[in-house]
Amino acid sequence: MSKGTRNESSKMSAMGRREFLGGALVGAVAVGQVGNLSHAAVGQVVNLSDSAAGQVTNLSYMEKLETPIVARHQVVVAGGGPSGVIAALAAARTGADTLLIERYPFLGGNGTAGLMTCYNGFRNQRPPEALQTVKGIAAEYIAELVRLGGIADEDSYPHENHDVTKGDLPYCIGFDPEAAKIAALNLLKKEGVKLRLHSWVVAPMLDGSRVTGVICESKSGRQAIAGDIVVDATGDGDVAAWAGAPFMKPADPSEKRDRMGASLMYRIGGVPPSLKNFGGIRIADRVVKWGPGGGGDCLDVENLTRLEVESRLKLWDDVQAMRKKPGQESIYLMQTATCVGVRETRRILGEYVVTEQDAIKGTHFPDVIAISSNPMPGYHGKRFFFEHEGFDIPYRSLVPLKVEGLVLTGRCISCEQGPFQSARSMAPAMAIGHASGTAAALAALSRIAPRKLDIKALQKTLLAQNAELRMKA
């Protein structure tokens, strides 16, 4: 950046400077090239000396930030959970230079970090369940798990009339979390997806209302990565919300509305072969089970801290009590999840909000890009099974209001709480990821906004990649 440009930009407001450096100059950086650019914001340092230690005040600490833009890619996927991994694979397969960013040192999200080692929702749990609603790249991922020997011996659901080893996927597939990490890496390497681990996405880069990349924090410090199109696979809809997209908050239990809580998964070892019907997801003498948890706002770090502490202390006591039962003396606590498994936070408002009635009636949409057949597990206090083979997820629910250059995926898509309970499950989330990544790649390659994407072209590409849309290729 020239001295003249720096002097000119220093006269701009904080947001103006952010837009100037984060937007207008980004276009000069070639795909994959590191540019000598910065994403900047200016502010003031507020004197906090009058605040007592630990006291909450209304004061702010304003930072002066000048963040180097270290790379640019056609598609940047923020979040490496099941939906994000499949989105990155889909974007790369569709022809886009793709980067996947993940905060943990491994991939898999709630399936691995959260030890939620069962992918639910490949088809309806009950009849009618003849249609496998999640296929395509998600099915390829399961095939890689099978190749690695990473499928569980037992899980919590029957597999009648379906054979995972032949690609006929049942409602639920239990898996080994370590194999899942390797399966994701193998497929990403094969598709040429670039990977950035140990990196927490903390803000979007913005040019007005257009997302032009993301800001990351890591051991390398604060860095910006420019992207033609960004896929928000954070689960919480962080990128969309921070970019200014409106969103629906979690249901309020005080209004007697459903709200999905968080829970701590855990794995125990030393389970004797003679111990039958023990429940959970079993591989040899190891069993993953659902542990304690709680509710509250899982966007609030203090609430998350409380949940972690209370859940871990209770879990330890629960396992010690378990060990005292006859025949279970050999059992021991082998592993707890890296973090409590969060199910519900933001749902971003998109061009269409999938309604409760859409889910119950099995609504079909002309812009269908995925199907969700998983039950609504906490619908007014009970597990609600669909009397159909799944409801459509329309492309419009992946396109946030008021924000350009961004595609939603996973559990933050635009839907009411009922359909959210179904679609946020990991198998339908993978199908949504397939669509999101493909859409992002097509938009980037065509140099158009995601909301202007040709839906027929998107559907044609998904069908060519073996996705299930209940449409003819």
Distance of alpha carbon 404 from alpha carbon 407, whole angstroms: 9
Distance of alpha carbon 207 from alpha carbon 26, whole angstroms: 10
195 strand-pairing partners = 100
The CATH 3.50.50.60 portion of the chain extends over 1-39+61-260+345-473
Element (H, E) at 264: strand 262-269
Confidence of residue 160 (pLDDT cuts 50, 70, 90): confident
Q: Where are the beta strands (DSSP E) in 347-450?
A: 347-348, 368-372, 376-379, 382-384, 391-394, 406-408
Distance of alpha carbon 89 from alpha carbon 100, whole angstroms: 9
Residue 252 near residue 427, CB atoms below 8 Å: no
DSSP label of 23: I
Mean pLDDT of the chain: 89
- Specify the CATH class of 1-39+61-260+345-473 in words: alpha beta
Which residues are CB-contacts of 315 (< 8 A; sequence separation ≥ 6)?
Answer: 264, 266, 291, 292, 333, 336
Residue 54 has pLDDT above 90, yes or no: no
Identity of residue 298? C
Mean pLDDT of 75-95: 98
**226 three-class SS:** strand
Distance of alpha carbon 431 from alpha carbon 369, whole angstroms: 8
Identity of residue 81? G
Residue 169 has pLDDT above 80, yes or no: yes
Tens of pLDDT, residues 277-326: 888 999 999 999 999 999 999 999 999 999 999 999 999 999 999 999 99
368 strand-pairing partners = 394
Tens of pLDDT, residues 346-374: 999 999 999 999 999 999 999 999 999 99
Phi and psi dihedrals of 214, rounded to 5? -135, 155
Residue 349 near residue 248, CB atoms below 8 Å: yes
CA proximity to 443, closest of 394, 401, 402, 398: 398
pTM to 2 decimals? 0.90
* Cα separation values, 351 from 225, 395, 400, Å: 27, 9, 6
> Cα 267 to chain center, whole Å?
23
Distance of alpha carbon 225 from alpha carbon 114, whole angstroms: 27
Tens of pLDDT, residues 218-251: 999 999 999 999 999 999 999 999 999 999 987 6
Q: State how beta strands 37-41 and 347-348 pair.
A: unpaired
Least confident residue range of 100-114, 252-266, 356-370, 456-470? 252-266
Predicted local confidence at residue 14, as pLDDT: 33
Distance of alpha carbon 48 from alpha carbon 176, whole angstroms: 49
